[in-house]
């Protein structure tokens, strides 16, 4: 080892040490940059504090305004009970009035909610035409769309971003046809609204009712904006069926139909009125009074449902909005739909990605005020109980008393 070698090694050592320090500095700077990048792209601090926006599209005015009140209150009640912050993010409901069966308006409002308000979810949808008009926008923008009433089966197949927390018409009406045929009703006249849900209700009822040995003795399609039912009811009286299967959207129409049905003496003649809950839901029953006694309907929810969950739901509803009007099947769908959205946000830790959100929706299942519900991952529709109910006076009040339960009914109306 000579002197020159030693000096050379000393210099090399110094150079090596300097290089190490530089490398360390570069490494530290990279780690800092990487952390900043991770923070910026994965969990942006500003974003984390931003609200999760839910665009709520419902009829809040016009003949279907009650849909907006019931579903809107159902959503609001869930947030009131559980708080409006989920996974550190505030939930903001951006409400828009779709005014009823106006597909062009629904489409325009949904477009604005997506592009201008930048909503993370779309929710609501009272009527089938609104939901069908908005489905392509949900696909294009990849915005999860949570249906809280519109009930034509085909809706969920129109976009992979749709999930439904209400029911399908086949799901409710098939069990009713089956039950009617098995309970001594053999000759039925069918009167349905002249749009997609009406046609589905007619086909589903006829299929299960005739399979059980019943006969359809006549049918009519009724425009969804008429309140003049006397001519339809007179014709039904002339045909003299044993029962009438009726589907018209909940609200003003069932009340107007029932008035003619009573006034023209069909109740006195003993003609049985059968339908989905629309003909006699909680908003209709009190208006009709005793004329409603004996009406048979099928649905996934009744105020009279006996369970701890429903007792709490009704008590909290009354505390929030007063006891009347009572919540109907739409209120429960709004409440459960909001519950599901909150669970999805929680499971995603507040970071909303549409495809991951849809994967989470497919796993949803819980005990609702209506009974157990679970999303069928294939159709993104619910599997739930369907109850046959009869209007009765219980403790002085008119209620839809549950008289039979079809458990775990799938969206096609068959038991799973
Ligand atoms: C619908 O348009 O899909 C609809 C409306 C009211 C109902 C049920 C379904 O009660």
The arithmetic mean of pLDDT across residues 180-191, rounded, is 97
Please tell me the distance between residue 27's alpha carbon and the centre of ligand 1 in angstroms. Answer: 62
pLDDT bin (cut points 50, 70, 90) of residue 20 is low
Q: What is the pLDDT of residues 46-78, one digit of tens each?
A: 455 699 999 999 999 999 999 999 999 999 999
Residue 414 lies inside a defined structural domain of this protein: no
Q: Are 139 and 77 in contact (CB under 8 A)?
A: no
Please check whether residues 94 and 140 belong to one and the same domain: yes
Residues 211 and 348 both lie in one domain: no
Decide if 209 contacts 178 (C-beta within 8 A).
yes
Residues 176 and 258 in one domain: yes
Q: Would 384 be classed as within a structural domain? A: no
DSSP 8-state code for residue 220? E
The pLDDT score that the predictor gives to residue 34 is 46
Same domain, 98 and 29: no
For every residue of 166-186, DSSP letters joined together read S--HHHHHHHHHHHHHHTT--
Q: Is 27 exposed, middle or buried (0-12, 13-18, 19+ CB in 10 A)?
A: exposed
Q: What average pLDDT is seen over the chain?
A: 91
Q: What letter does residue 279 receive in the DSSP assignment? A: G
Q: Which of 197, 275, 277, 298 to mutate to test the pocket of ligand 1 (most atoms within 8 A of CB)?
A: 197
Q: In angstroms, what is the span from residue 123 Cα to ligand 1's centroid?
A: 15
pLDDT for position 276: 87
**At residue 285, does pLDDT exceed 90?**
no
161 DSSP assignment? T
What spacing in Å lies between the alpha carbon of 230 and ligand 1's midpoint? 23
d(CA 296, CA 273): 6
Q: How far is residue 85's CA from residue 83's CA, in Å, rounded to a whole number?
A: 6
CA distance 221 to 226: 11
- Determine the pLDDT at residue 5: 44
For residue 45, pLDDT beyond 50: no
Q: What is the DSSP letter of 415?
A: B
Around ligand 1, the residues with Cβ closer than 6 Å are 127-128, 149-152, 197, 249-250, 278
Question: Please, what's the largest Cα pairwise distance for the chain?
Answer: 125
Contact present, 328 and 281 (Cβ < 8 Å): yes
Query: What pLDDT does residue 251 have?
Result: 83
The Cα 398–Cα 55 span in angstroms is 36
For residue 84, the domain's CATH number is 3.40.50.2300
- Strand 381-394 and strand 296-299: the pairing is antiparallel
CA–CA distance, 143 with 137 (Å, rounded to integer): 8
Predicted local confidence at residue 36, as pLDDT: 46
Q: How far is the CA of 399 from the centre of ligand 1 (A)?
A: 21
Residue 249 clears pLDDT 60, i.e. is over it: yes
Under the banding of pLDDT at 50, 70 and 90, the label for residue 26 is low
> Residues 399, 262: one domain?
yes
Using pLDDT thresholds of 50, 70 and 90, give the confidence band for residue 322: very high
CA distances from 109 to 73, 93, 102, 124, 295 (A): 21, 14, 11, 13, 38
CA distance 173 to 277: 10
Q: Are residues 401 and 350 in the same domain?
A: no
Give the lowest-confidence range in 129-138, 212-221, 277-286, 393-402. 277-286
Query: What's the pLDDT at 272?
Result: 95
Total Cβ atoms within 10 A of residue 10: 10
pLDDT band at 277 (very low <50, low <70, confident <90, very high): confident
Is 11 or 79 the better-scoring residue by pLDDT?
Answer: 79
Q: Above 80 in pLDDT, residue 183? A: yes
DSSP state at residue 154: G
Q: What is the mean predicted confidence (pLDDT) over 142-157?
A: 98
Q: Are residues 89 and 203 in the same domain?
A: no
Is 284 found in the same domain as 175? yes
**What are the tens digits of pLDDT across the range 343-382?**
999 999 999 999 999 999 999 999 999 999 999 999 999 9
In a domain, 47, yes or no: no
Let me know if residue 23 belongs to a domain.
yes
Q: Which of 71, 73, 156, 72 is nearest to 329 (CA)?
A: 71
Give the range of the structural domain holding residue 361, as residue numbers without chain letter.
Answer: 52-167+306-379
Pocket test for ligand 1, best of 59, 106, 151 (most atoms within 8 A of CB): 151
Q: How far apart are CA 192 and CA 223, in angstroms?
A: 9
Domain-embedded: residue 81: yes
255 and 401 belong to one structural domain = yes
Residue appearing with tokens 């909503």: 119
**What percent of the chain shows pLDDT beyond 90?**
78
Q: Which two tokens stand for residue 115?
A: 């592009």
Distance CA 217, CA 317 (A): 42
Average pLDDT estimate for 92-113:
97
- pLDDT confidence of residue 329: 96
Percent of the chain topping pLDDT 70: 88
d(CA 237, CA 409): 34
| Residue 331 within any structural domain of the chain | yes
Count other C-beta atoms under 10 Å from residue 154's C-beta: 13
Residues 192 and 277 in one domain: yes
Listed residue (351, 385, 384, 378) closest to 363, CA to CA: 378
Q: Looking at the structure, tell me whether residues 152 and 176 fall in a common domain.
A: no
pLDDT one-digit tens code per residue, 201-229: 999 999 999 999 999 999 999 999 899 99
Tokens of 284: 């209709």
Range 149-153 average pLDDT = 98
What six digits make up the tokens of 186?
């053999």
Q: For residue 32, is the peptide bond before it cis, meaning its omega torsion is within 30 degrees of 0?
A: no
Distance 354 CA to ligand 1 centre (A): 27
Rounded Cα–Cα distance for residues 405 and 299 (Å): 10
416 belongs to a structural domain: no
Q: Does some domain include residue 46?
A: no
Predicted local distance difference test score (pLDDT) of residue 25: 62
Whether residue 160 contacts residue 139, with contact meaning beta carbons closer than 8 Å, is answered with yes
Residue 290's pLDDT band, with cuts at 50, 70 and 90, is confident
Ligand 1 site-directed mutation target among 65, 250, 255, most atoms within 8 Å of CB: 250
Same domain, 58 and 14: no
Residue 1 has pLDDT above 60, yes or no: no
Is the Cβ–Cβ distance between 218 and 189 less than 8 Å?
yes
Q: In the predicted model, is pLDDT for residue 100 greater than 60?
A: yes
Look at residue 123 and tell me whether its pLDDT is greater than 80.
yes
- Range from 11-25, 158-172, 248-262 carrying the lowest mean pLDDT: 11-25
Residue of 415, 330, 333, 331 lying closest to 376 (CA atoms): 415
**How many separate domains does the chain show?**
3
């Amino acid at each position: 080892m000579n002197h020159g070698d030693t000096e050379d090694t000393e210099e090399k050592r110094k150079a090596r040490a300097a290089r190490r320090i530089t490398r360390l500095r570069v490494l530290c700077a990279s780690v800092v940059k990487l952390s900043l990048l991770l923070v910026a792209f994965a969990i942006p601090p500003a974003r984390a504090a931003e609200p999760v926006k839910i665009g709520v599209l419902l009829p809040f005015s016009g003949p279907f305004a009650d849909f907006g009140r019931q579903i809107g209150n159902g959503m609001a009640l869930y947030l009131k009970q559980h708080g409006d912050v989920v996974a550190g993010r505030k939930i903001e409901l951006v409400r828009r009035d779709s005014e009823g069966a106006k597909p062009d308006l629904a489409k325009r409002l949904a477009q604005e909610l997506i592009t201008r308000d930048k909503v993370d979810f779309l929710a609501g949808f009272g009527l089938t035409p609104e939901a069908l008009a908005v489905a392509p926008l949900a696909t294009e923008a990849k915005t999860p769309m949570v249906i809280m009433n519109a009930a034509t089966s085909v809706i969920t197949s129109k976009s992979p971003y749709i999930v439904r927390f209400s029911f399908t018409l086949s799901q409710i009406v098939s069990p009713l046809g089956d039950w009617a045929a098995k309970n001594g009703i053999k000759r039925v006249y069918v009167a349905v609204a002249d749009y997609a849900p009406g046609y589905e209700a007619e086909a589903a009822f006829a299929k299960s009712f005739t399979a059980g040995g019943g006969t359809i003795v006549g049918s009519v399609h009724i425009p969804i904006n008429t309140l003049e039912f006397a001519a339809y009811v007179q014709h039904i009286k002339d045909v003299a069926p044993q029962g009438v299967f009726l589907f018209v959207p909940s609200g003003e129409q069932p009340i107007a139909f029932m008035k003619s049905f009573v006034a023209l003496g069909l109740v006195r003649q003993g003609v049985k009125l059968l339908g989905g809950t629309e003909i006699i839901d909680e908003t209709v029953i009190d208006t009709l009074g005793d004329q409603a006694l004996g009406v048979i309907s099928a649905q996934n929810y009744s105020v009279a449902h006996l369970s701890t969950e429903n007792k709490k739901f009704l008590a909290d509803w009354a505390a929030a909005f007063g006891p009347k009007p009572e919540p109907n099947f739409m209120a429960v769908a709004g409440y459960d739909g909001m519950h599901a959205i909150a669970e999805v946000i929680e499971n995603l830790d507040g970071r909303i990605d549409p495809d991951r959100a849809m994967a989470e929706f497919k796993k949803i299942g819980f005990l609702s005020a209506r009974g157990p519900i679970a999303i069928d991952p294939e159709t993104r529709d619910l599997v739930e109980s369907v109850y046959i109910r009869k209007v009765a006076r219980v403790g002085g009040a008119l209620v839809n008393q549950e008289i039979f339960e079809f458990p775990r009914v799938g969206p096609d109306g068959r038991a799973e």
